[in-house]
Structure formats: C-alpha cells, structure tokens
Amino acid sequence: MQRSPCRPFRLALIQLHVSAVKSDNLQRACGLECFNSPYGTQYFKEYAEKIPGESTQKLSEVAKECSIYLIGGSIPEEDGGKLYNTCTVFGPDGALLAKHRKVHLFDINVPGKIQFKESETLSPGNSFSMFDTPYCKVGLGICYDMRFAEMAQIYGQKGCQLLIYPGAFNMTTGPAHWELLQRGRAVDNQLYVATVSPARDEKASYVAWGHSTVVNPWGEVIAKAGAEETVVYTDIDLKKLAEIRQQIPILSQKRCDLYGVEMKNYRSKKKTFPKGAISKALQSSRANSTFKYTQPSHGPSHV
C-alpha cells in the first residue's frame, strides 16, 4: 500500500459501558475488549459468535458508513468447537482487513485480590496480526498480550509504527501496570501505543480500570480517558516518531550478534507415533483398526 510519508492522522478511542444485554452492546459499541459480552469466563460461550457474524457485520457497516479504519475491540469467537478472544479490523469500504486472536491467555492469581483463568474456556491464538493503512502499519494485541515485550518488539521489526491493544485491566493490575506497560512498549520500540478499555462499572462481576490511553514514542501520555464512558481523540504525528528514532537510534544500534528476538513458524501439535509402536498396534488390532502415522509438519507463518 502506498503511504504518504509522515502524514498525520487522527485516532479516536471509544470507551463504553458493557452490559449483559448483547443487543444494547452492539447498538452502542465498537472499540474495546469483549464489547458484545460481559468480561468473564462464564459469559464467553453464551456470547460467542462465528466470524463473520452479527457483531462483526455491525462493525463492517459502521466502518463503511463513516469511511474509517475501525479496530473493533474484541469478541468471543467460536470456530471449530473452540473459543477465542478475537479482535477484527475493517477498512473504509467495510472489508475485513485483519483478525487477531489473543495469543497470551489471562491466567493470574493475586491472593486476596483477583483470580482469573481465561484458559478455562478460551484457546490461544497462534499468529501475529498486522495491517497497512495509507498512514502507517499497525500491529494488534489484546489486553494481556501487552505484557509480553517480545511481541511488541517483533511488530516493530516488521515496520509497525502504531500498536493497538483493546484491553480490560482490573482494579488490581490497572493502577499498577496499565500505563507503565504502554509507556514501556512505546519507549522500547520507539512507536505509538494505544489502548482501549471498557468504562468502569462498579456493579459488574469484573470491574475494568478504564483509562483508555495513547502514548507517543518518547513515552509521553498524549491522550487519556478517565473511568467514565467517553471518547478520546488525539493526533498521531509520525514526524515526531521519525525525529525520536533519529535522535536516539536504538533500532540501528541493537547487537544482533549477541541477542535477538524473532517470529517463529507455529508448529501444529499433531499426534505422532514411533514406527515400532504402529507396527505393534497394527498387529494387535487386526483388520478393523484405523491407526494412522503422521509425520511432524511445520505450520505456516501467519502475519
């Protein structure tokens, strides 16, 4: 895609309340983690959809109607009998540009404060997700993905200048780490980082921290919401990014001869058996057996 060099653009963060009524959420939503569903393992199966589905169709229509790039928060996605926490991106023509499945599942236990285990119901995604716009290349993560510096570094290596994380940090992790992690990812990789949270609802089973935020490559918070429902606007200036990278050229100063972070091909976990075991099983199972030997295979790299 042809880009205008250092062309500024406007970014809007939509921080909304999420209720237990799915139709209300769809009517109001379009930019946070699990926007069509309350956030909780007990809700994911009930609210899960195929993609494309009702929620993503609504996002597509909004993107086309407003002629914008729309990063649609995330929804519980059902695919092949598994559930994923999935973010979709739509272009100004309403076309699906990217789909990111949350790579790192939120399994934590802070005694006396919060315990949560997404892996009770969700499966992890196995790919990096990027998309191009006329302004810049964008990398996607969801919530807990932001804690993993390697993921952000790989996005930077692949040319991303903006990372976007729909997320729902809570009242324990939010005040401690929400802004800290965004500033760290931005400074380490010299790029913009934006996060979008649900608005805080003190009566919800999971209380979100709120404070949707944008951080520039210098680590400065240039836009930030409170806890309430709101929309925050900010201008992304890529000239600022270019200046910082020129002034402090850490990207060209990395010692790749001593260390490195790389994107790997995901290997699907197919069941394999030693050849001797197969012969033995065939002998004991006679003619009615359906025992198949599968050579290990390498899955493709998804970008």
> Is 150 assigned a catalytic role?
no
Q: What is the pLDDT of residue 294?
A: 31
Phi, psi of 59 (to 5 degrees): -60, -45
Token representation of residue 32: 């946070």
Q: What is the pLDDT of residue 41?
A: 83
> Is 143 assigned a catalytic role?
yes
Q: What is the pLDDT of residue 253?
A: 97
Per-residue pLDDT tens digits for 213-260:
999 999 999 999 999 999 999 999 999 999 999 999 999 999 999 999
CA distance linking residue 153 with residue 143, whole number of Å: 16
Cα pseudo-dihedral 168, 73, 217, 151, rounded to 10: 80
Q: Percentage of the chain surpassing pLDDT 90?
A: 71
CA dihedral for 250, 251, 257, 261, sign (positive or negative)? positive
Q: Among the options 78, 143, 160, 240, which is catalytic?
A: 143
The full set of domains in the chain, from first to last, is 9-253 (3.60.110.10), 267-296 (no CATH)
> Is 66 assigned a catalytic role?
no
CB 58, CB 65: distance < 8 Å? no
Q: What is the pLDDT of residue 293?
A: 30
CB 107, CB 64: distance < 8 Å? no
pLDDT band at 175 (very low <50, low <70, confident <90, very high): very high
Q: What is the pLDDT of residue 26?
A: 60
Q: What is the pLDDT of residue 63?
A: 94
> What does the mean pLDDT of the chain come to?
86
Say if residue 198's pLDDT is above 80: yes
Q: Among the options 22, 30, 33, 34, which is catalytic?
A: 33
Question: Among the listed ranges 71-80, 86-95, 156-165, which one has the minimum average pLDDT value?
Answer: 71-80
Per-residue pLDDT tens digits for 152-162:
999 999 999 99
Amino acid at 48: A
Say if residue 172's pLDDT is above 80: yes
CA distance linking residue 115 with residue 295, whole number of Å: 40
Per-residue pLDDT tens digits for 10-32:
999 999 887 676 666 665 554 44
Say if residue 96's pLDDT is above 90: yes
Q: What is the pLDDT of residue 5?
A: 65
Instruction: Using CB atoms within 10 Å of the CB of residue 222, give its burial: 0 to 12 exposed, 13 to 18 middle, 19+ buried.
Output: middle
3-state secondary structure labels for all residues of 28-93: HCCCCCCCCCCCCHHHHHHHCECCCCHHHHHHHHHHHHHCCCEECCCEEEEECCEEEEEEEEECCC
**What DSSP assignment string belongs to the chain?**
----TT--EEEEEEE----S-HHHHHHH--SSTTTTS-SSHHHHHHH-B-SSSHHHHHHHHHHHHHT--EE---EEEEETTEEEEEEEEE-TTS-EEEEEE-SS--EEEETTTEEEEGGGT-------EEEE-SS-EEEE--GGGGG-HHHHHHHHHTT-SEEEEE---BTTHIIIIIHHHHHHHHHHHTSEEEEE-PPP-TTSSS-B----EEE-TTS-EEEE--SSSEEEEEEE-HHHHHHHHHHS-HHHH--TTT----PPPPPP------HHHHHHHHHHHGGG---------PPPP--
CB 191, CB 214: distance < 8 Å? no
Q: Among the options 30, 78, 99, 102, which is catalytic?
A: 102
Average pLDDT, stretch 91-109?
97
Token representation of residue 33: 């983690």
pTM for the model stands at 0.83
pLDDT band at 35 (very low <50, low <70, confident <90, very high): low
